[in-house]
Structure 1
Amino acid sequence: MKNEQDKARRVAYEAVAAVHRDDAYANLVLPLIQRDWGLYGRDAAFATELTYGTLRALGAVDAILAVAADRPVDRIDPQARDAMRLGAYQALYTRVPPHATVSSTVDLVRDVAPGAAGFANAVLRRVVEQDLETWLKQVAPDEATDRVGHLAVAHSHPEWVVRAFADALGGDLDETARLLVEDNERPEVHLCARPGLIDPDELAEQTGGAPGAFSPYAVYLPGGAPGDFPAIQHGLAHVQDEGSQLVASALVDAAIDGPDARWLDLCAGPGGKAGLLGAIAAGRGAHLTAIESVPHRARLVERTTRGLPVEVRHADGREVGLEFAEGWFDRVLVDAPCTGLGSLRRRPEARWRRQPSDLPPLTKLQRELLAAGLRAVRPGGVVGYVTCSPHLVETQVTVSETARRSGLGVELVDARPLLPAGMPGLGSGPSVQLWPHRHGTDAMFLALLRRMD
């Protein structure tokens, strides 16, 4: 390595290569690679920006590389291709000077795919001849005749995802464009101050953060490693998107008749919502049962909820009736596995992995879990159905179809009054869809269902 920036580029390359070669997750592999290469501080931040930026912009970058290389990107040597993707991202999306971009990328290709160095040099020189706006006019469909196709390339989202977002936004393509822009921004880290354990203002002072805009437990962190703060290390707070905090607190604030002591988190891993629910339960004299079907995720829930009135069980949430009598619980959270289209800011590689074919098995599972949650709650109790996806099939359709087929008396509770006063853009109800561009949160969906009999 010539200097620390070259080392940062190599770290970013290794992370991007692991994502494409091994189906790794950037947020998991990048910290490990940085540690192995001894990369810290500003250089680690540069590697992080290169990694996440390249993965977010992959659609546009690949379209541009295909033209500059005069061949489809899948016909380029994988090692050279990932290095060139990093170079194209630097050239088009950052302030790194063009000559530095070309020379550093060629050096990187020379390290990882020596035979392709000349090819990479020629392609990158073509890339830097034009700016991003000029390239997009060349590679994206015409905006006037194919707005969705244009948005997909210009903002690097698969076209089916753009259509799903537009459907959930009532067909408003202007607002869809604003969402796509926000989806490509680096999100703030949100902390959750566990009620009864630490005050949000105290957490903000300890971390140098700022109280959140909506959740009474949220603190926005300007930077740094959250795990380094004592409040996180000692279980007084945890990392959690503000949207997740809002939907969990809405569930426990919904009015119910009768007792309010038995709570259930049906799909608890990795434990963020269980941690918040457990802390609230401790202050109300309630007890939370947290169910997780994956063993290592169940262990994460145990670690996250240590010291709280939470019992963790390793089981399949769809079979909750085998362990508990029907109608045993007063409140039930069904945070169902989903496509994760609402958290693409944090997991940029997910947009390229998910396919429309993923929807049928996921929606089948979602409906089975929600049906189990409705059986588990007592008459008069409330179920909160949550997904981190705005796709209508995973949200409105799943809720309406499951309620209809349940054979139980179920009514939808208006969730909007249970979110903080003054929150904009909550729609016409009774369910709530949060959005990155409206609320600064992940695109969390919440429906509250009360069992009547």
Structure 2
Amino acid sequence: MSGQGRQNRDDRRGPQRRADGQGGPRRESTGGTSHRAPSRGARPRDVQPARRVAYDVIRAVSTSDAYANLLLPGAIREAGLSSADAALATELAYGTLRRLGTYDAIIAQAAGRDIADIDPPVLDALRLGTHQILATRVATHAAVNESVNLVALHAGRGASGFANAVLRSVAARTQDEWLDAVTAAARSDDERLGLRFAHPVWIIRALRRALAAEGREEELEALLAADNAAPEVTLVALPGLAEPQGPRRPYAATAFGSAGGDPGAVVAANKGRVRVQDEGSQLVALALVGAQPVTAGERWLDLCAGPGGKTALLAAEALRSGATLDANEVVPARAGLVRKAVASVPLHVDVAEEDGRVLAVDRPGVYDRILLDAPCTGLGALRRRPEARWRKTAADVPELAALQEGLLAAALGALKPGGILAYVTCSPHLAETAAVVQSVLRDRDDVQELDAREAVRAVSEQPIDLPEPSSGSGHAQLWPHRHGTDAMFLSLLRKQP
């Protein structure tokens, strides 16, 4: 999602509120719900490095609104973790954050109190321990002991007894038994699914509606499960600058080759001409290029370019097609990432730092192709951004939709007659996808929606299942459970010559 526009409001307490309306009866503390740090003379407790890194990342997400996918790689490097420990830290941090709401409901029952009455440092350690006990192969005694040691280090020895009791209560049931227990009092099917699959109810409803628009509502549970699975890391080989490896579509390869499974090493070895990028992101960018033949001298624009992955792919395509490329990103730090992303492509890309609506209005009829990867809720990338589902709210959607409509209307003005615009979101929410396109096109008779499904099929080297929406629209919607990609939405719009 681009940085264009206001950051979504974070629900800072998020799942720390009672996610299921359950939790045992409140009782007086037996381990202390108000804890002090260890005394100066307290004997330090040892915690395995991978768990320490995972806990620190979870705490940063809770206290500083940090993003795990940005924080974790640096924390792993700073701790000097081995490949095995890095993988463990990633699974523990991401797995815990993805299923936070479910774990909070389980902890509330196991503790016999509302999670709001548990000190945040203790609660985060309990979440981490619960994930290890119920969803990993970590031995129960190791999960309990290490989590109790974390509590002792960060909240004092008095709290460690409480944590020990809660985690032993968690370990007394299997994951399925706990899921049955916390969903028993669910007031609706959506609430039951939300607890079982760790998604807020408003997201459950949005995903159901998006699937129903394709006549595939029965796939909802498969989609929710896919959101909770660690995604495969894929690479893009920039066309004309690097050779793709493996039978992926069309410039993608898995990240695990000669570098021993380290995607960073692969990127470094190829000087940035091979980089990590989801296949869905590749397909929507390439569909813009392949929608009609490129004529040398065309001018292209990536309007909301941060952090620059699609920009680099477009730059490589522009280089070999004789086109030029401009980019824009309103957030300066993200604009810097765009410049870094395109540095490996021997093509000058001018990167502006303006409100995309203003830039587009100032450049009427200039561009032959425009990529508008609009800011959105990011519901299509929940598997990659584990904390995102707990930060977004339904109240964020109308303001984002208004921004998306403004950007799309302005971008169409910057398009030449005969030019093509790709409207893209990393969200399947209908209010951010088809509804935006329909709203903007309602009063225009000079813009035609092309068949985006056919354009995606044309650039994919493998068959790809893209059913026609019930609305008869020509857009394409990718899905993690069906295509193994992020849930990218694509609408291709052509201005009449």
TM-score bracket, normalised by the shorter chain, equals: over 0.9
User: 2:76 matched to 1:34?
Assistant: yes
User: 2:255 matched to 1:211?
Assistant: no
Matching residue's letter, 2:285: A
1:19 aligns to what?
Answer: 61
Give the alignment partner of residue 131 of structure 2, picking from 58, 73, 89: 89
Q: Kindly tell me: are residues 165 and 321 of structure 1, through their superposed partners in 2, closer, same or farther at Cα, counting changes over 3 Å?
A: closer
Give me the whole-angstrom Cα distance separating, in 1, the residues matched to 2:267 and 2:113. Answer: 52
Matching residue's letter, 1:330: D
User: 2:360 matched to 1:317?
Assistant: no
Name the SS for the 2:372 alignment partner: strand
1:448 aligns to what?
Answer: 492
Contact 2:133 2:140 in 1 (8 A): yes
Matching residue's letter, 2:391: R
Name the SS for the 2:240 alignment partner: coil
Contact 2:305 2:328 in 1 (8 A): yes
User: 2:102 matched to 1:65?
Assistant: no
1:268 aligns to what?
Answer: 305
Give the alignment partner of residue 123 of structure 1, picking from 154, 163, 166: 166
Matching residue's letter, 2:252: A
Name the SS for the 1:211 alignment partner: coil
Q: Kindly tell me: are residues 111 and 2 of structure 1, through their superposed partners in 2, closer, same or farther at Cα, counting changes over 3 Å?
A: closer
Give me the whole-angstrom Cα distance separating, in 2, the residues matched to 1:172 and 1:128. Answer: 37
Instruction: Give the gaps of 5 or more residues in structure 1.
Output: 202-209
Give me the whole-angstrom Cα distance separating, in 2, the residues matched to 1:100 and 1:231. Answer: 36
1:394 aligns to what?
Answer: 432
Give me the whole-angstrom Cα distance separating, in 2, the residues matched to 1:87 and 1:163. Answer: 30
Superposed CA offset, 1:406-427 (max 9, x none) = x451111011111236211343
Give the alignment partner of residue 334 of structure 1, picking from 372, 383, 390: 372
Contact 1:260 1:330 in 2 (8 A): no
Q: Kindly tell me: are residues 40 and 2 of structure 1, through their superposed partners in 2, closer, same or farther at Cα, counting changes over 3 Å?
A: farther
Matching residue's letter, 1:121: N
User: 2:208 matched to 1:191?
Assistant: no
Deviation at 1:260, TM superposition (A): 6.0
Give the alignment partner of residue 145 of structure 2, picking from 103, 108, 117: 103
Give the number of equivalent residue pairs.
439
1:206 aligns to what?
Answer: none
1:242 aligns to what?
Answer: 279
Q: Normalising by structure 1, what TM-score? A: 0.92
Contact 1:426 1:434 in 2 (8 A): no
Q: Normalising by structure 2, what TM-score? A: 0.84
- Higher helix residue share: 1
Matching residue's letter, 1:161: I
Q: CA RMSD in A?
A: 2.0
How do 1:42-81 residues align onto structure 2 when only pairs under 5 Å count? 42-81=84-123
Matching residue's letter, 1:253: G
Give me the whole-angstrom Cα distance separating, in 2, the residues matched to 1:248 and 1:399. Answer: 18
Q: Kindly tell me: are residues 89 and 412 of structure 1, through their superposed partners in 2, closer, same or farther at Cα, counting changes over 3 Å?
A: same
User: 2:202 matched to 1:160?
Assistant: yes
2:451 aligns to what?
Answer: 414
User: 2:439 matched to 1:439?
Assistant: no
Q: More displaced, 330-339 or 293-302?
A: 293-302
2:36 aligns to what?
Answer: none
Identity of aligned residues (%): 51
Give me the whole-angstrom Cα distance separating, in 1, the residues matched to 2:468 and 2:418. Answer: 26
Deviation at 1:46, TM superposition (A): 1.1
Contact 1:191 1:219 in 2 (8 A): yes
Deviation at 1:341, TM superposition (A): 0.4
Give me the whole-angstrom Cα distance separating, in 1, the residues matched to 2:118 and 2:146. Answer: 19
Instruction: Give the gaps of 5 or more residues in structure 2.
Output: 1-43
2:465 aligns to what?
Answer: 424
Matching residue's letter, 1:411: Q
